[in-house]
Amino acid sequence: MATTIWPSAEDAELIEVEFIDLNGGSHSLKLLIDSGFAGESSFVLGEDAVGLALAEYDPAEAVGALQGQQNRAWVRCRVPALPSSAL
């Protein structure tokens, strides 16, 4: 998987996302908000998040800051900052 570095990440908008694994365990990650992401997925996760995959999908081409064939997987998550009534 490609590595992308944002030198200005200290000033970037972050959001906490809780991912639910196959055993129902919760894993919290702080993710960079990228409103310009133009891929076929909702999140860009590192290889250390492979245990969060509930199902694998065919790789897809990503464009923008992250480019090339990227592995894809189905994940289950929630955003604690959003009230459940907003879903």
Residue 71 falls within a domain, yes or no? yes
Whether residue 3 lies inside any domain: the answer is no
Average per-residue pLDDT for the chain: 80
- Total of domains in the chain: 1
- Phi (first) and psi of residue 25, to 5 degrees: -70, 150
Task: Tell if the pTM clears 0.75, that is, is over it.
Answer: no
- Output the pLDDT for position 25: 93
Does residue 32 form part of some domain?
yes
Cα-Cα-Cα-Cα dihedral of 87, 28, 25, 42, to 10°? 50
Position 58 in a domain: yes
- Tokens 């590192």 identify what position? 46
Least confident among 22-31, 46-55, 64-73 = 64-73
Query: In terms of residue numbers, what domain contains 32?
Result: 13-81
Indicate the burial class of 26 (C-beta count within 10 angstroms; 0-12, 13-18, 19 or more). exposed
